[in-house]
């Protein structure tokens, strides 16, 4: 167990991080992510009001669908990244980071509280079933979710417990995030664990999985000093909200974010492959051949899937497209270790997509 965002959280279980990680890649793992915030928002014209803070096309988001979104400050920095799902015409659920949820709630309440009903649901838990056998597990339990699309939501009853399922997650694998009342969480967890394909996994494996998948983590790759374009998240700013779009701008930091998307930035997030076996951790400086500073490592560790160290970091734009090239060094305990820029993700993402024929 370990302290994370004010919660005593399972970092790893007896099998250890490597086995938990590989089990997720091969079968299915269950993560307790109940520390995440769940915020319910409803009211007339809720899509338009939410678009004043989140640079997404929320107006066109269909009922039963969700998207990845960003809350930005006036300088275009990322206050938080989140998932937003539309459960009815004027009702939405936001799943936000644990370390940000109190501030997110206050921010949303202060900006939209006069127009919308905003409620933080501290009475709900969140479990994440992740891995290629996740859909098979649900089928074993009598629920055929094979045709449920990626980034969609559905209300499903498990052993008499009403749950809200979303086909999503943050491991790079297929899977589901499942919300239910706190007093029903143990029942749902035990039911899922009754499958021989499912085992517990902790935050250690969750971090190594998301890093392999090249997914940014709040407090590491994304902060209030990081913009969407710098973090490779321009796609999270919907086309209707960009320059020349139908509803261009109108969100905090638009005067910085939109020109950056159109014209470029002074640093970019990349994957980095250390040469050798020594891991390179968060905070390590990146230098060029002659010792000039060119960036910083934001996450680093060991990849169980590749059996070698990997890391993420920001570099000057001229180095961002030099995939496979050396010439960069990470400074670790006073030593300069060679690293290579590599394309993300390190490991292919296996989100479930329905193949449509025409």
pLDDT tens digits, one per residue of 132-147: 999 999 999 999 999 9
CB 189 within 8 A of CB 200: no
Q: What is the pLDDT of residues 37-92, one digit of tens each?
A: 999 999 999 999 999 999 999 999 999 999 999 999 999 999 999 999 999 999 99
Q: What token pair was written down for 353? A: 């997509």
Report the half-sphere exposure of 201 (CA within 13 A, side-chain side).
Answer: 29
CB 171 within 8 A of CB 213: yes
Q: What is the pLDDT of residues 136-184, one digit of tens each?
A: 999 999 999 999 999 999 999 999 999 999 999 999 999 999 999 999 9
- The pLDDT value recorded for residue 252 is 98
SS3 269: strand
Q: What rounded mean pLDDT belongs to the chain?
A: 95
Residue 190 CB-density burial (10 A; 0-12 exposed, 13-18 middle, 19+ buried): exposed
Q: Which residue has the tokens 């943050």?
A: 170
Asked whether residue 358 carries a pLDDT value surpassing 70, the answer given is: no
* 230-256 average pLDDT score: 97
For a pLDDT cut of 90, what percent of the chain falls above it? 94
Q: How far apart are CA 69 and CA 80, in angstroms?
A: 9
- The pLDDT value recorded for residue 64 is 98
Q: What is the pLDDT of residues 292-318, one digit of tens each?
A: 999 999 999 999 999 999 999 999 999
User: Angle 234-298-130 (CA atoms, 0-180°, nearest 5)?
Assistant: 70
Asked whether residue 251 carries a pLDDT value surpassing 50, the answer given is: yes
CB 49 within 8 A of CB 43: yes
- The pLDDT value recorded for residue 357 is 44
Q: Partners of 85 in the beta sheet?
A: 66, 93
Give 327's pLDDT tier (boundaries 50, 70, 90). confident
Residues in CB range of 312: below 8 A, 6 or more apart: 211, 214, 216, 220, 221, 269, 270, 271, 272, 297, 298, 299, 300, 344
Asked whether residue 117 carries a pLDDT value surpassing 60, the answer given is: yes
Asked whether residue 356 carries a pLDDT value surpassing 80, the answer given is: no
Asked whether residue 325 carries a pLDDT value surpassing 80, the answer given is: no
Helix axes 17-26, 203-212, angle to 10 degrees: 60
User: Angle 256-261-266 (CA atoms, 0-180°, nearest 5)?
Assistant: 75
Q: Which residue has the tokens 């998301």?
A: 210
Q: Which residue has the tokens 């910083």?
A: 296
Give 353's pLDDT tier (boundaries 50, 70, 90). confident
> Quick one: how far is CA 192 from the chain centroid?
23
Cα–Cα distance list, 129 to 28, 195, 354 (Å): 7, 12, 19
pTM above 0.85, yes or no: yes
Query: In 204-357, where do the E strands start and end?
Result: 268-274, 285-287, 293-303, 308-315, 328-332, 335-342
Asked whether residue 234 carries a pLDDT value surpassing 70, the answer given is: yes
Asked whether residue 322 carries a pLDDT value surpassing 80, the answer given is: no
Q: What is the pLDDT of residues 17-49, one digit of tens each?
A: 999 999 999 999 999 999 999 999 999 999 999
Q: What is the sign, positive or negative, of the torsion defined by CA atoms of 168, 231, 102, 54?
A: negative
CB 216 within 8 A of CB 81: yes
């Amino acid at each position: 167990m370990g302290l994370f965002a004010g919660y005593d959280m399972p970092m790893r279980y007896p099998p250890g991080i490597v086995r938990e990680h590989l089990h997720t890649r091969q079968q299915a793992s269950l993560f307790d992510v109940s520390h995440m915030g769940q915020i319910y928002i409803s009211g007339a014209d809720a899509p338009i009001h939410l678009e004043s803070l989140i640079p997404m096309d929320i107006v066109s988001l269909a009922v039963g669908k969700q998207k990845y979104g960003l809350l930005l400050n006036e300088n275009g920095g990322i206050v938080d990244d989140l998932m937003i799902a539309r459960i009815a015409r004027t009702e939405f659920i936001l799943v936000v980071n644990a370390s940000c949820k109190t501030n997110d709630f206050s921010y949303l309440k202060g900006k939209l509280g006069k127009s919308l009903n905003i409620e933080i649901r501290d009475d709900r838990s969140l479990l994440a079933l992740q891995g290629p056998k996740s859909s098979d597990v649900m089928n074993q339990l009598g629920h055929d979710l094979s045709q449920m699309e990626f980034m969609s939501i559905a209300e499903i009853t498990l052993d008499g417990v009403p749950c809200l399922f979303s086909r999503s997650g943050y491991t790079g694998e297929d899977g589901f995030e499942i919300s239910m009342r706190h007093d029903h969480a143990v029942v749902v967890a035990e039911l899922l664990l009754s499958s021989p394909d499912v085992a517990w996994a902790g935050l250690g494996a969750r971090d190594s999985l998301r890093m392999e998948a090249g997914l940014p983590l709040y407090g590491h790759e994304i902060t209030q000093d990081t913009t969407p374009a710098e973090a490779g998240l321009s796609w999270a700013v919907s086309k209707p909200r960009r320059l020349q779009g139908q509803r261009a701008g109108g969100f905090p930091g638009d005067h910085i974010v939109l020109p950056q998307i159109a014209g470029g930035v002074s640093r970019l997030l990349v994957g980095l492959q250390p040469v050798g076996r020594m891991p390179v951790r968060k905070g390590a400086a990146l230098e060029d051949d002659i010792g000039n500073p060119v960036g910083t490592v934001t996450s680093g560790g060991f990849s169980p899937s590749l059996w070698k160290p990997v890391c993420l970091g920001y570099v000057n734009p001229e180095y961002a497209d030099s995939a496979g090239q050396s010439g960069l060094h990470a400074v670790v305990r006073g030593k300069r270790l060679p690293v290579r820029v590599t394309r993300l993700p390190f490991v292919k993402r296996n989100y479930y997509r329905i193949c449509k024929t025409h």
